[in-house]
Amino acid sequence: MTALGHFIGGKHVAGTSGRTADVFNPATGEVQAKVALASVAEIRAAVENAREAQPKWAATNPQRRARVFMKFVDLLNQNMDELAVMLSKEHGKTVEDSKGDIVRGLEVCEFVIGIPHLSKGEFTEGAGPAIDMYSIRQPVGIGAGITPFNFPGMIPMWMFAPAIACGNAFILKPSERDPSLPLRLAELMIEAGLPAGILNVVNGDKEAVDALLTDPDIGAISFVGSTPIARHVYGTAAANGKRAQCFGGAKNHMIIMPDADLDQAVNALMGAGYGSAGERCMAVSVAVPVGEETANRLVEKLIPKIESLRIGPYTDDKADMGPVVTKAAQERINGLIDRGVEEGAELLVDGRGFKLQGYENGYFVGGSLFDHVSPDMDIYRQEIFGPVLSVVRAKNYEEALDLPMKHEYGNGVAIYTRDGDAARDFASRINIGMIGINVPIPVPLAYHSFGGWKASSFGDLNQHGTDSIKFWTKTKTITARWPSGIKDGAEFVMPVMK
């Protein structure tokens, strides 16, 4: 049995709390490791370590900080196969999908190689007589990140890359479901030349998270996970005087207009609905065909594709999707499918009870499809986070637009149409953070920023892109006068620019 501890001060350390969590292989149901759950004292030790290392790192010039990421990107590419298998083994997604997870994180590491340019300040010469005014961006100090199970490579890198490039020390508290990859990333950062103590990984659960949220030496908290926890983290961090960006759950709709290329839309729905077994915050979980004819044609094309999804363990390189992450997740998803049936939705493809020969104890759920779902149903309101697609039929464009507009979540949304005017109107009016026009999963690239609206996000700055540089730094503005001012005598009125 592998014992996974923490990574503090540039090396692996064993947990001392005596508490552990099981790490499963979701394809077989076997416990393959025990991960330590940190105590408040262990979190404090990591913070002390970070506090000691950070000033020297902040004083390291930004070109040198960037070079660590150049090397790190190389190491990620060199070790890609090993890293992807490590991820798949604990998460359950296919190895190719795990590579995508890592690459989307790697791209943010590439983005922060531009840190010398990204962190430059602003300067106004002659803002008044002999007065110059300039703003500089200084690191927050110590940042912490709390990440979900579903992207154990990408999301930690979305956080630690900009935080560290900006001159901060960083404490990562990864998901206890799949902690191996985050620990390995920390090792590779050291190999890339990062000084010890700048990136610490502390495994744990609520106890560790709450210790981070109340620690007086931590200046900024980045969180990604479910909405109830995002709310808790945001509120607690703010009450403790920290800046926080907290990203929560989602219910992403795809509107299919009558003029859409239906085959394209169906393929998009298959990938966005069932890829990674629907365990993506940008998964499409609601299809909204406009008009009965579009709906009938859509459902007809979806059914055989869902029925023929290839479901397998990560070792099956032809699998479209793997198991879900835990038995609890499997039971929750099956329970929500039961609920949908009770509520009167029409279950056209039933993934409950899916069994894979040789993997009978794995946490598999077959692809499922509901038709005639309505907005008052639990299966519409709740995030299912599994391979379940709900079809909500809309009579016209306005009715379709109204659905995501009124939904509690506002992460992503897509419209499939050939009509530029409809697409343009949609993008302008919708109250959601990330919009795809004939693109099913509109995850912005590293140099733009990622974040939802409404209950999908709390805080005012997004992840990666220039927002991340703002989040991980504080602005300091200096007004400087170098004339003979003071010897000319004091001024007693409020200073204004003359």
Q: Are 148 and 120 spatial neighbours (Cβ–Cβ below 8 Å)?
A: no
As a whole number of angstroms, the longest Cα–Cα distance in the chain is: 90
| Nearer CB in complex with ligand NAD: 23/224 | 224
| Nearer CB in complex with ligand NAD: 236/438 | 236
* H or E element that contains 30: strand 30-36
Q: Is position 166 annotated as part of the catalytic site?
A: no
C-alpha 7 chain-centroid distance: 22
Q: Closest by alpha carbon to 46, among 228, 165, 163, 215? A: 215
Binding site for ligand NAD (CB under 6 A): 146-151, 173, 175-176, 205-206, 209, 224-226, 229, 232, 247-250, 281, 383, 385, 411, 452, 456
- Shortest distance, position 37 Cβ to ligand NAD, whole Å: 9
**How far is the C-alpha of 219 from the C-alpha of 141, rounded, in Å?**
6
The pairing of beta strand 453-454 with beta strand 434-437: unpaired
- Shortest distance, position 40 Cβ to ligand NAD, whole Å: 13
Instruction: Residue 266: count other Cβ atoms within 10 Å of its Cβ.
Output: 20
- Shortest distance, position 157 Cβ to ligand NAD, whole Å: 13
- Shortest distance, position 227 Cβ to ligand NAD, whole Å: 7
3-class secondary structure, 301: helix
**What's the one-letter identity of residue 135?**
S
| Nearer CB in complex with ligand NAD: 149/370 | 149
Q: Are 196 and 9 spatial neighbours (Cβ–Cβ below 8 Å)?
A: yes
- Shortest distance, position 484 Cβ to ligand NAD, whole Å: 55
Active-site option among 109, 166, 246, 281 = 281
- Shortest distance, position 456 Cβ to ligand NAD, whole Å: 5
3-class secondary structure, 357: coil
DSSP 8-state secondary structure symbol assigned to residue 444: -
- Shortest distance, position 387 Cβ to ligand NAD, whole Å: 14
- Shortest distance, position 372 Cβ to ligand NAD, whole Å: 25
| Nearer CB in complex with ligand NAD: 25/411 | 411
* H or E element that contains 41: helix 40-58
| Nearer CB in complex with ligand NAD: 249/289 | 249
Instruction: Residue 217: count other Cβ atoms within 10 Å of its Cβ.
Output: 13
| Nearer CB in complex with ligand NAD: 195/271 | 271
| Nearer CB in complex with ligand NAD: 273/452 | 452
| Nearer CB in complex with ligand NAD: 105/148 | 148
Sheet holding 20-25, edge to edge: 2-4, 30-36, 20-25
| Residues pairing with 454 in the sheet | 409
The pairing of beta strand 284-289 with beta strand 346-349: unpaired
**How far is the C-alpha of 236 from the C-alpha of 213, rounded, in Å?**
6
Sheet holding 457-458, edge to edge: 11-13, 6-8, 199-201, 169-173, 142-146, 220-224, 243-247, 457-458
Whole-Å CA distances, 51 to 16, 63, 101, 140: 21, 22, 30, 12
| Nearer CB in complex with ligand NAD: 65/104 | 104
- Shortest distance, position 225 Cβ to ligand NAD, whole Å: 3
| Residues pairing with 143 in the sheet | 170, 220
Whole-Å CA distances, 60 to 54, 68, 110, 308, 330: 10, 11, 19, 55, 47
Catalytic positions: 281
